[in-house]
Amino acid sequence: MFITDLSAISPQLTYNENFLLGDKKSYESTVFNAIEPDYTELIPRNLLRRMGKAVRIGIGTGTPLINKNSELDGIIIGTANGGLEDCIRFLNQIIEYNEGTLTPTNFVQSTPNAIAGQLALIGKNRGYNITYTNGGTSFENAILDGILLFNEGNNKKLLIGGIEEISEYNYNIDSLSNKFKKETIKDSKLLESNTPGTICGEGAALFVVENESNNYYAQIKDVAQITYPSIEDLRECLTEMLERNNLKSTDIDSIMLGYNGDINHNHWYEYIENKIFKKSNSFTFKNLIGDYRTCSAFATWLSSHIINGEKKILKHISRRINNKNTPKNILIYNHFDTVRHGFILLSK
Amino acid sequence: MGKTREEIKVELKKHIVEYLNLLDIKPEEIEDDQPLFGPDLGLDSIDSVELIVLLDREYGLKINNPTEGRAILVDVNTIVDYILENK
Amino acid sequence: MKVVVTGIGIVSAIGNNVAANETQLKLQKSGIDKAKNFKSRYTNSLNFGEVRLSDSELKKILHITKKGYCRTALLATMAFKEAINHSKLTKSEIESYRTGFISSSTVGGMCNTDELYADANMKGEPSEFIKTYGGGEHTLQLIKDFNIKGFTSTINTACSSSANAIMLGCRLIKAGRLDRVIVGGSDSLSKFSVNGFNSLMILSKEPCKPFDENRDGLTLGEGSGYLVLERSDIAKNKKPLAEVIGYGNSNDAFHPSATSNEAFGPTLAMQRAIESTGIKKLNIDYINAHGTGTPNNDITELFAFNKIFSKIPPYNSTKSYTGHTLAAAGAIESIFSILSMKNNELYPSLNCLNPITKFNNPPIKKKTNITIDTVMSNSFGFGGNCTSIIFSKIK
């Protein structure tokens, strides 16, 4: 699967070239909010007027890709929660108006498949269309579906992506279950904070993927996932994926790890970094964007640019550099809240 | 004393813009006889339900189904007529 | 390689297991009525397809004592257990890396609307459901309870969700990624869904009347359905119920909550499903229609039938028995299609007194016995998501 085009809206200036040119935003906050572009030229205002943030950043990221890439065969989106802001707004209406006459827009926009649905609408795309809501491996699900579609042979070009929004409400809910740090923290200090909890982030990263190409950013070679694993289960899952691709751990020159500053999450990443891929370069990404359930889509966006030779971003994300050449392959490993774990294997 | 037809009209247009979150459209730009569901405003079936919610919340008027709504929600004039008749 | 159905499980308004559902279909008795468990402003004014078990009764039957199980998860556990028992899966088969699990839900843990309101607005101490609101959380509870280690997924394509779970499951087996996979979905009645559909003014005051000229909306139901799909060669010693021979998915690309007059999405989903079987001149003996009972769905679905078939096969909407079970509908109705095929029986579509006049093609009127070798189940959802699945008898 070849990534031939890509776009991201994130807490960094990823929507234009500024981030890749070295312009990094710094945060000292309890949330890292996405930097949104001006959508007026991009999204028909009749659609824009109804959109909550998840839908807006998803459509804002996807529309230029749709416009530039005709003949998309289908759209596959991973989003754990979709438009939660709209969802809870509708819920608040239910309670506050005692189930009286309620405005339907929040309800319609809150369903997670509204993003893939409206991308189809904008692109008049009647191809395969699906939305995965599988928590921390929603984007991994989307990649696997794409790989299957290409192998089945009926599809040549797909739009896939991962999207999540921060709303006050999901922030509250995840805070109540102790997912986030209580204190504000500088992004540069996040990964070494040694306290429980992480920082809440958000964003959309979408990709045009093709089954054949000579001109591409990176290849997605494979994906694997496991839920509630033991360390042994995780190693078995990884080994199986490497074997499937005829690779040894020493063939992986770089790894991109989901370190998120939560002291209770680190040991999983440390195991992969120090026990399995001792010699590989290691990179991080959550110091740029915070943590959310489909952030591996951003990690894929970032890794694709690194494989494609972008250098100026490396200083912000390098953790261990053993080899200064442009990475030939990057293995992304991420888990959300230690429950759902995913691997994404990218190569030149 | 109730509001005059003119006052209701001005107020209704504000509500329409607010409820439907019409971007770049000022209330005074909506003509009294401009078809709401024509090509200019580009409203659709979800908007018709939003307008029914508007009439309920702002004027206490209950329309029970979209079919009944269709005859009332033609343009600003027809909605004002309905408000004045039922208020 | 063939993918066969070796186990099924259902809980719906017409019964708490497959046998009870089958009996009600044969008796042509709807489960739509006033709700007993579901508490809402609309409890007394609307009809629902409610599962006749309270949360505490479900927990008792399932021996669940842990906290944090919402109704969606409880219904899912009921149907899931029946399906794996029916297929006689061993513990080691369920826990194998080669066994997957694909679930689906639209409301998920948000069925606890009041608790979610309090937690999201930080009113008081966190509730027992604080970690279970997400659409994929019921999947996690089943993964944990049954120690599932293989590929897992949760899909939300609104009302076509579990049809897509079936489709993905088949594709994973055919691709060699899995040997077997449990697929389906679960949705419970909730203030969230009821008020959502009510705000769109598409709930009928009466039990839904699919394909009737005077239909005026859908009736919400709840339930869960799961199917065990296996590669035919590993199911050699079982008596599979059916083979999944085709599936098709399309987006209507027209409107967030309505189907296009031309029925682009439904037509393409059915056409792709038919093409995917690879069978020339495929004969479909029965269609379990999406048939929600809304003015928009039923006319567009009939329009699509008319475009595809020179002679429209017998069809019904079993939503006239169960109400619209949202994400679970695709799985529940696939199971009903399989039961029809097993029994060679067509069950009537209920409440259709004056069939849509524009097409002279009423749904099934009375229980009929005919040979049924091939069936198609349709599921179309908000966001334009349309999916059709085709099953055949084991040959």
Contact B21 A103 (CB under 8 A): no
Long-range residue pairs from A150-153, CB within 8 A, at least 24 positions apart, any chain: A150/A1, A150/A211, A151/C175, A152/C171, A152/C174, A152/C175
Tell me: do A130 and A226 sit in the same domain: no
| Digit-coded pLDDT (tens) for C290-308 | 999 999 999 999 999 999 9
Q: Does B45 touch chain C (CB under 8 A)?
A: yes
The pLDDT of residue C268 is above 70: yes
Query: What is the average per-residue pLDDT within C218-240?
Result: 96
Confidence (pLDDT) at C132:
84
In this predicted structure, what is the pLDDT of residue A151? 97
CATH 3.40.50.2300 holds for C3-235? no
Neighbors of chain C with 3 or more C-beta pairs under 8 Å: A, B
| Residue type at B20 in one-letter notation | L
pLDDT above 60 for B1: no
Q: Which of C70, C170, C324, C386 is the catalytic position? A: C324
Least confident of A50-59, B2-11, C164-173: B2-11
* Residue located via tokens 């070494």: A192
Q: What is the pLDDT of residues C23-68, one digit of tens each?
A: 999 999 999 999 999 999 999 999 999 999 999 999 999 999 999 9
In this prediction, residue C124 carries a pLDDT of 84
In chain A, positions 43-72, which contact chain B (CB-CB < 8 Å)? 45-46, 48-50
Under 8 Å CB pairs connecting chains A and C tally to: 204
Dihedral of alpha carbons A225, A230, A231, A233, sign = negative
Annotate A117-157 with three-state secondary structure: HHHHHHHCCCCEEEEECCHHHHHHHHHHHHHHHHHHCCCCE
To the question of domain B5-86 being in CATH 1.10.1200.10, the answer is yes
Domain shared by A78 and A116, yes or no: yes
What's the pLDDT score for residue A321?
Answer: 95
Decide if A130 contacts C385 (C-beta within 8 A): yes
Nearest by CB to residue C383, choosing from A80, A116, A172, is A116
Q: With an 8 Å Cβ cutoff, is C129 touching chain A?
A: no
Q: Are residues A114 and A143 in the same domain?
A: yes
pLDDT given at position C256: 85
Q: List the domain boundaries for chain B.
A: 5-86
Residues C192, C111 contacting (CB under 8 angstroms): yes
A163/C153 Cα distance (integer angstroms)? 17
Strands A318-320 and A185-186: unpaired
Query: Helix/strand/coil (H, E, C) string of chain C?
Result: CCEEEEEEEEEECCECCHHHHHHHHHHCCCCCECCCCCCCCCCCCCCEECCCCCHHHHHHHHCCCCCCCCHHHHHHHHHHHHHHHHCCCCHHHHCCCCEEEEEECCCHHHHCHHHHHHHHCCCCCCCCCCCCCCCCHHHHHHHHHHCCCCCEEEECCHHHHHHHHHHHHHHHHHCCCCCEEEEEEEECCCHHHHHHHHHCCCECCCCCCCCECCCCCECEECEEEEEEEEEHHHHCCCCCCEEEEEEEEEECCCECCECCCCCHHHHHHHHHHHHHCCCCCCCCCEEECCCCCCHHHHHHHHHHHHHHCCCCCCEECCHHHHCECHHHHHHHHHHHHHHHHHHCEECCCCCCCCECCCCCCCCCCCCEECCCCEEEEEEECHHHEEEEEEEECCC
Q: Which positions 48-77 of B are in contact with A (Cβ < 8 Å)?
A: 49-50, 52-53, 56-57, 62
Q: pLDDT digit string (tens) for A281-330?
A: 999 999 999 999 999 999 999 999 999 999 999 999 999 999 999 999 99
> pLDDT over 70 for what percent of chain A?
100
Same domain, A169 and A242: no
Pick from A232, A48, A90, A58: which is nearest to A162 by CA?
A: A58
Per-residue pLDDT, C111: 84
Residue A19: is its pLDDT beyond 80? yes
Active-site residue, selected from the candidate residues C159, C170, C208, C352: C159
Catalytic: C159? yes
Looking at the complex, report in whole angstroms how far the Cα of residue B26 sits from the nearest Cα belonging to chain C: 26
Answer yes or no: do A12 and A154 share one domain. yes
pLDDT band at C126 (very low <50, low <70, confident <90, very high): confident
Residue A120 and residue C251: Cβ atoms within 8 Å? yes
Q: How does the average pLDDT of chain A come out, rounded? A: 95
In Å, how far are C110, C145, C171, C245, C378 from C2, measured between CA atoms?
A: 37, 29, 11, 8, 21
Residues C342-370 as b/e (b if ≥16 CB within 10 A, e otherwise) read eeebbbbbbbbeebbeeeebbbbeeeeee
Q: A129, A150, A152: best mutation site toward chain C, by most C Cβ within 10 Å?
A: A129
- C381: number of CA atoms within 13 Å, CB side? 35
C134, A102: Cβ pair inside 8 Å? no
C185 within 8 A of C331, measured Cβ to Cβ: yes
For residues B67 and A140, the model is more confident at A140
C86 is catalytic: no
Residues ≥6 apart with Cβ < 8 Å to C308: C267, C270, C271, C274
Ramachandran area for residue A209 (φ above 0: left; ψ -120 to 50: alpha; else beta): beta
| Residue in B24, B42, B56 closest to A101 by CB | B56
Domain boundaries, given as residue ranges, for chain C: 3-235, 245-392
Contact B49 C200 (CB under 8 A): yes
- Choose one of A210, A241, A272: the last residue of a domain: A210
Across the interface, which of A40, A48, A103 has its CB nearest the CB of B50?
Answer: A103
Q: Are A288 and A199 contained in the same domain?
A: no
Tokens of A12: 């960094």
**A108 interaction partners in chain B (CB closer than 8 Å):** 46
pLDDT above 90 as % of chain A:
89
C-alpha atoms less than 13 angstroms from C-alpha of C50 in its C-beta half-sphere: 19
Residue A193 near residue A261, CB atoms below 8 Å: yes
A48 to B19: CB separation less than 8 angstroms, yes or no:
no
The confidence score (pLDDT) of residue B42 equals: 79
- A126 and A22 in a single domain? The answer is yes
Predicted confidence (pLDDT) per residue in C317-348, tens digit: 999 999 999 999 999 999 999 999 999 999 99
Torsional sign, CA A44, A49, A51, A52: positive
Q: What is the reported pLDDT for B65?
A: 77
Total tally of structural domains belonging to chain A: 2
- At B40-84, the pLDDT tens digits run 787 888 899 999 999 999 999 998 877 788 889 999 999 999 999
| Cβ atoms of residues A78 and A140 within 8 Å | yes
Answer whether C253 sits within 8 Å of A82, measured CB to CB: no
* Cβ within 8 Å, pair B46-C201: no
Residue-level pLDDT at B67? 79
Spell out which residues of chain A touch residue C156, defining contact as CB-CB under 8 Å. 82, 111-113, 131-133
User: Hey, do C3-235 and C245-392 end up sharing a CATH topology, with the first three levels equal?
Assistant: yes
Chain A contact for C157, CB < 8 A?
Answer: yes
C-beta of residue C268 within 8 angstroms of C-beta of residue C262: no
A57 plus A154 within the same structural domain: yes
Q: Which residues pair with C9 in a beta bridge?
A: C226
Per-residue model confidence (pLDDT) at position C130? 85
Q: Is-catalytic flag, C324?
A: yes
- pLDDT digits 0-9 by tens, C106-119: 999 888 888 888 88
Q: Show the domain range for A40.
A: 2-210
Residues A194 and A222 grouped into a single domain? no
Contacts of C125 by beta carbon, 8 Å cutoff, 6+ apart: none
pLDDT digits (tens, 9 = 90+) for C194-211: 999 999 999 999 999 999
Phi, psi at A229, each rounded to 5°? -80, 160
DSSP 8-state code for residue A266: H
For residues A228 and A192, membership in a common domain is answered with no
Considering the domain architecture, whether residues A255 and A231 belong to the same structural domain is answered as: yes
Q: What is the per-residue pLDDT for B6? A: 92
Task: Write the pLDDT tens digit of every residue in C177-192.
Answer: 999 999 999 999 999 9
Query: Which pTM does this prediction carry?
Result: 0.96
**In the listed set A164, A185, A210, which residue is the last one of a domain according to the structure?**
A210
| A252 and A312 share one domain | yes
CATH tag, C245-392: 3.40.47.10
